[in-house]
Structure 1
Amino acid sequence: MASLKAKKPHVLAVPFPAQGHVTPLIKLSRRIADCGIKVTFVNTHNIHSKILESTSVLPENQVHNTGNIVLTSIPDGLSPEHDRNNVLEFIESLRGAMADSLMDLIGRINRENTEEPISCIIADITVGWVLEIAEKMGLEPVVFTPASAAGLAMVLHIPKLVEGGNLDVNGRLFPLHFFILEFELNILKISFTSGTVVGKPETISLSSDIPAWGKDELSWTFPVDLGMQKILFECSLDALKTGNQAKLILCNTFYDLESTACDLNSRLLPIGPLLNPDNSKSSSNYSGSFLTQDESCLDWLNSKPAASVIYVSFGSIAVFSQQQLDELALGLELSGRPFLWIVRSNLANGECAKYPNGFLERIGGGIGKIVEWAPQEKVLSHSSVACFLTHCGWNSTMEGVSMGVPFLCWPYFADQFHNQNYVCDKWKIGLRICADENGIRSRYEIKNKIQMVTADDDLRRNALQIKELALKSNGSEEGSSFKNFQRFVDHL
């Protein structure tokens, strides 16, 4: 009879090894673990070490147990000192090295833990080869996308864009000439509009309720490096394959925020916003951050008046020229507002930032604070924060809307451009910081937009309204994301 006893569910979570992918999946894993379900979270050795070091936990061995979450790692096929900035080489190495290691890991876990063997794999949509392993080993495959529902919808309809001759092999839009082509694909209408009219660039629209994508706003866009753009487009094609194979796709969004985009895919389950739980039983301080979060900025925020501080962060990837960094520094100073600025050690084209002459001395009296990394959710929820100057990564976007903070948008690449369109055009909770004819966002543009966003009561009112929708979605048993998550847990 013992053999008939139902085994407890055990989830294996596999992110793509990048900060913007690890963070939301670890938040999802913590929520699953808080429901009493064991989660094994698998990073590469390189990322595993970074995360444990950032949380002051020395990685003496390759497994770290935090309640219902077990953190472990497998090799990525590269030596510790190897440069992982060669994205194409890195991705190819991942595919070649991780598959066998992951299968060995699953086999070992199941042999050592017969009461709780791996029963389900949640894989980031960019590591679709993990689904093949799930199928081979008889495990339930679930896909997680860290991007918006609209971004996923765009990726899933790449074939029609290519078939129609609207995209080249690098994912760039071809010019179209004074016509509109419309066709039906399931319940989705895609319209291609001419871009030859002055001031009317080529656009792709999935719905009148979803902001259109311009020719430089597609989710694989990387205008400063077309070689990288081609790689991102190839990754999007892999995600397309994974998305089409998936029976269930979990998405870090909520229905009231992206209802039309969510309705485009019956297999999509919106479970966001994914935030760090206040009283997590799974892990007290494990955030998945690659850098140590400087908590001293919270004390600094405590000393500032309500709704006075400009919070500035460009995520984990964006880099600036020295000229642009100088303009940003001087624009923040000219605004006359206190500011908290996140400056990674490699923000200045991969090197340590240099500031304008006398800048650090002038802001040293308390007008500005600069740290390498911060506990972003805590910062955004602080009463002293007036607005969020951001790269518009989807994780940051979801955190910002959840805290009711107006945005200043400065996208860098990929889906960030369309996220900006959501913020400024659809939700009307932020403003764009625009570049000049030389591609530089000047100190005066930065100063003026800071003054505009902090004086705009409508933006703040709209932001607070969306905050209420976010809270209702996941903070109430009647919320759509709460129900969707509970359905998923019950299914497990």
Structure 2
Amino acid sequence: MEGGIADAGNSPADEEQIQIRESSLRAHVLVIPLSIISVSHVTSAVLLSAKLAKQDITVTIFTDRYMLPHIHSLHSPEALQSLDIRLAIMDHDESERELHEDWSRPFKDSYDVMRAAEPYFQNMASARSSGAAGLPTCVIADMFCLWAQKLSHEQNLPCYAYFPSGANFARLLQAFPALISEGRLRVGENGKFIKSKQTITVPGLPPLLDIELPNSTKINPVSVTAKAGLDLSKNLPCYAYFPSGANFARLLQAFPALISEGGLGVGENGKFIKSKHTVSVTAKAGLDLSKVNGVIINTFYELESHAIEAFLQACDPTLHVPKVFTIGPLAAARTEAAAREGEREECLEWLDRQPVSSVVYICYGSMAKWTAESLRELALALEASQCRFLWVLYQESGDDLVHALPAQFLERVGQRGRVVTYWVPQVQIIQHQALSCFMSHCGWNSTVESISGGVPMLCLPLGAEQNLNCRHIVDVVKVGIQVKVGDDGVPKQKDIENALQLMMEEEEGKMIRQRVLELKSMAAAAAVPGGSSSTSFQELINDLKCT
């Protein structure tokens, strides 16, 4: 026998033993996304899983049964099987379903996933002790599920932390502890940041107002110590994967020091006390990565180089500084099987009938919470601007949202606009020649898809790390325009019209289009052999197969 292929003379028993031996030698990654509340985290995890599976790695995704339709919209069951991607469905209380409607609870939901994962790990340990083959050889856990380190360590498995929000967010989280400990970021009794509209400066990141910090970030007061936040210092190999970009990775890195040094206060309810005062992250702030083998980020180096370098510099140089694997952009064409085929075709066929670079695409993701006033202002702005538009209002209550639009709005805009309430093939839409710009909440997946497609952005962030992404899009890489929002949090008709005019008609919009095309080329170059992401991904694969 050569190369693991059985001779014709091998007995069935011999062939079975060969298959068992080959299965035991094959790298097998257990991927744990934050799957109770976050469609975007699951999307990124599935895209990563497919990328790994194409490198002869078995993948098991530990997920919530309510996410199955979404996962199958990305890859059909047959496609998952052909890639050797398996689904392990967590067993938890049906009441957890309500958490899908609340995207502001990542830390609590992480522990809900943990409770469901513990029996799975126990069963895996039993199977391992009995000599079962083909079990996971390592774990990749979402950035909010780093409790998986402990469960992995108990079985001597390497644990890789997965961050879906890019390097900017990782850098921001890295900086939080020092911001809190130094008194530059305060947390009220309700656990939220005390808002004062003070500028926060973090090396590697664009300036932020403290009111723009993620509202969903919560820290348990018990953890107000140097090791609070993302504790990656467990005594085991660990790779941190940041699907949300380098800025987010840097932010996560800074949280522990911010809290322990008093720069970020935490209320009794576990939320940050916000004071709107300036927060500055120092080099000593950060996640303890001394025992971590690597950090995996859904970005390409050229997009977030400042955050990536600052993230590394914030690590303690006297200890082990982990590798940073930039493997993005993880944006790929999707089947969107959850939508009806006819509707998908109608959507794209409508785009086919529009002039080149004429359509504004508006989509805020499945978890956006539209108010009646926001809907009205945006609708009136689209009507007054006379621009062509494709507006996705996907929610379970999508029909109600359409009914909340101004009376006769759809009739007045006629054929120059479309409002849909179903899933659409976003990547295909972004890559369509009719598209002019993308009005987005600045979620990281949408940001990466827009940049990879060479489409400029109109930015209207809603929460989480989206304000940070917006600052990066507008102020750093300069491929978007932010829509002004009033003190009440509602974008006004005139401000939306002004942003549309700047993007569609003014010189500023022309310069932005040129810049985003340059970034598109950089993203493409990063992904080909020899490019930064391709090289980094191959290094990651080599590491995974050596575990």
Measured against aligned partners, the alpha-carbon deviations of 1:36-87 in whole angstroms (never above 9, x if no partner) come to 21111111122235544x579799xxx9734321123112333476565466
- In 2: Cα distance, 1:387 partner to 1:393 partner: 15
1:148 Cα deviation (Å)? 2.1
Task: Tell me the amino acid that sits aligned with residue 230 of structure 2.
Answer: L
1:151 Cα deviation (Å)? 1.3
Of 190, 212, 227, the match for 1:217: 212
- In 2: Cα distance, 1:420 partner to 1:480 partner: 24
Of 357, 365, 379, the match for 2:407: 357
CA pair 238-332 structure 1, distance change in 2 beyond 3 A: farther
Task: Tell me the amino acid that sits aligned with residue 149 of structure 2.
Answer: L
Of 155, 165, 174, the match for 1:137: 155
Alpha carbons 1:388, 1:407 under 8 Å: kept: yes
What's the counterpart of residue 205 of structure 1? Answer: 201
- In 2: Cα distance, 1:13 partner to 1:156 partner: 23
Of 366, 370, 379, the match for 1:329: 379
Of 109, 113, 118, the match for 1:100: 118
Range that drifts further, 26-35 or 429-438: 429-438
What's the counterpart of residue 183 of structure 1? Answer: none
What's the counterpart of residue 484 of structure 1? Answer: 536
Of 301, 326, 337, the match for 1:270: 326
| Matched residues, number | 446
Task: Tell me the amino acid that sits aligned with residue 446 of structure 1.
Answer: I
Q: Does 1:172 align with 2:204?
A: no
CA pair 309-233 structure 1, distance change in 2 beyond 3 A: farther
Of 53, 71, 94, the match for 2:87: 71
What's the counterpart of residue 498 of structure 2? Answer: 448
- In 2: Cα distance, 1:366 partner to 1:174 partner: 41
Range that drifts further, 232-241 or 14-23: 232-241
Alpha carbons 2:195, 2:211 under 8 Å: kept: no
- In 2: Cα distance, 1:383 partner to 1:354 partner: 31
- In 1: Cα distance, 2:338 partner to 2:126 partner: 27
Which residues in structure 2 correspond to 1:289-300 (within 5 Å)? 294-296=343-345, 297-300=347-350
- In 2: Cα distance, 1:145 partner to 1:24 partner: 9
The two structures, once aligned, show a CA RMSD in angstroms of 3.4
Q: Does 1:315 align with 2:371?
A: no
CA pair 105-354 structure 1, distance change in 2 beyond 3 A: farther
- In 2: Cα distance, 1:97 partner to 1:292 partner: 35
What's the counterpart of residue 469 of structure 1? Answer: 522
Measured against aligned partners, the alpha-carbon deviations of 1:420-469 in whole angstroms (never above 9, x if no partner) come to 11111111111111123543212222222112102221010001011111
What's the counterpart of residue 431 of structure 2? Answer: 381
What's the counterpart of residue 435 of structure 1? Answer: 485
SS in 2 for 1:388: strand
List runs of 5+ in structure 2 lacking aligned partners: 1-16, 233-286, 313-320
Alpha carbons 1:40, 1:69 under 8 Å: kept: yes
Alpha carbons 1:75, 1:101 under 8 Å: kept: no
- In 2: Cα distance, 1:414 partner to 1:430 partner: 19
- In 1: Cα distance, 2:363 partner to 2:200 partner: 29
Alpha carbons 2:43, 2:71 under 8 Å: kept: no
- In 1: Cα distance, 2:130 partner to 2:360 partner: 51
- In 2: Cα distance, 1:20 partner to 1:250 partner: 17
Of 232, 239, 257, the match for 2:303: 257
Measured against aligned partners, the alpha-carbon deviations of 1:151-175 in whole angstroms (never above 9, x if no partner) come to 1112122221121122233352676
Alpha carbons 1:32, 1:39 under 8 Å: kept: yes
Task: Tell me the amino acid that sits aligned with residue 380 of structure 1.
Answer: I
CA pair 256-406 structure 1, distance change in 2 beyond 3 A: same
SS in 2 for 1:241: coil
Of 413, 417, 422, the match for 1:372: 422
Task: Tell me the amino acid that sits aligned with residue 541 of structure 2.
Answer: V
Task: Tell me the amino acid that sits aligned with residue 325 of structure 2.
Answer: L
Alpha carbons 2:128, 2:135 under 8 Å: kept: yes
Alpha carbons 1:9, 1:117 under 8 Å: kept: no
Measured against aligned partners, the alpha-carbon deviations of 1:194-229 in whole angstroms (never above 9, x if no partner) come to xxxxxxx4222223x5311211122x23xxxxxx56
Alpha carbons 1:44, 1:73 under 8 Å: kept: yes
Range that drifts further, 397-406 or 113-122: 113-122
Task: Tell me the amino acid that sits aligned with residue 172 of structure 1.
Answer: F
- In 1: Cα distance, 2:222 partner to 2:327 partner: 27
What's the counterpart of residue 10 of structure 2? Answer: none
Measured against aligned partners, the alpha-carbon deviations of 1:321-378 in whole angstroms (never above 9, x if no partner) come to 1111011112112221211111013578996652211112223434334242211111
Q: Does 1:124 align with 2:112?
A: no
Alpha carbons 1:121, 1:134 under 8 Å: kept: yes
Task: Tell me the amino acid that sits aligned with residue 271 of structure 1.
Answer: I
Identity %: 27
- In 1: Cα distance, 2:378 partner to 2:357 partner: 21
Alpha carbons 2:376, 2:405 under 8 Å: kept: yes
Alpha carbons 2:387, 2:416 under 8 Å: kept: no
- In 1: Cα distance, 2:131 partner to 2:534 partner: 30
SS in 2 for 1:423: helix
TM-score of the superposition, structure 1-length normalised? Answer: 0.81
- In 2: Cα distance, 1:341 partner to 1:155 partner: 33
CA pair 84-382 structure 1, distance change in 2 beyond 3 A: closer
Q: Does 1:23 align with 2:79?
A: no
Measured against aligned partners, the alpha-carbon deviations of 1:301-323 in whole angstroms (never above 9, x if no partner) come to 11111101100011122212111
Of 290, 294, 304, the match for 1:248: 294
Alpha carbons 1:74, 1:101 under 8 Å: kept: no
Task: Tell me the amino acid that sits aligned with residue 483 of structure 2.
Answer: I
SS in 1 for 2:494: helix
- In 1: Cα distance, 2:535 partner to 2:222 partner: 35
- In 1: Cα distance, 2:381 partner to 2:119 partner: 49
What's the counterpart of residue 338 of structure 1? Answer: 388
- In 1: Cα distance, 2:88 partner to 2:515 partner: 42
Alpha carbons 2:356, 2:433 under 8 Å: kept: yes
- In 2: Cα distance, 1:85 partner to 1:304 partner: 35
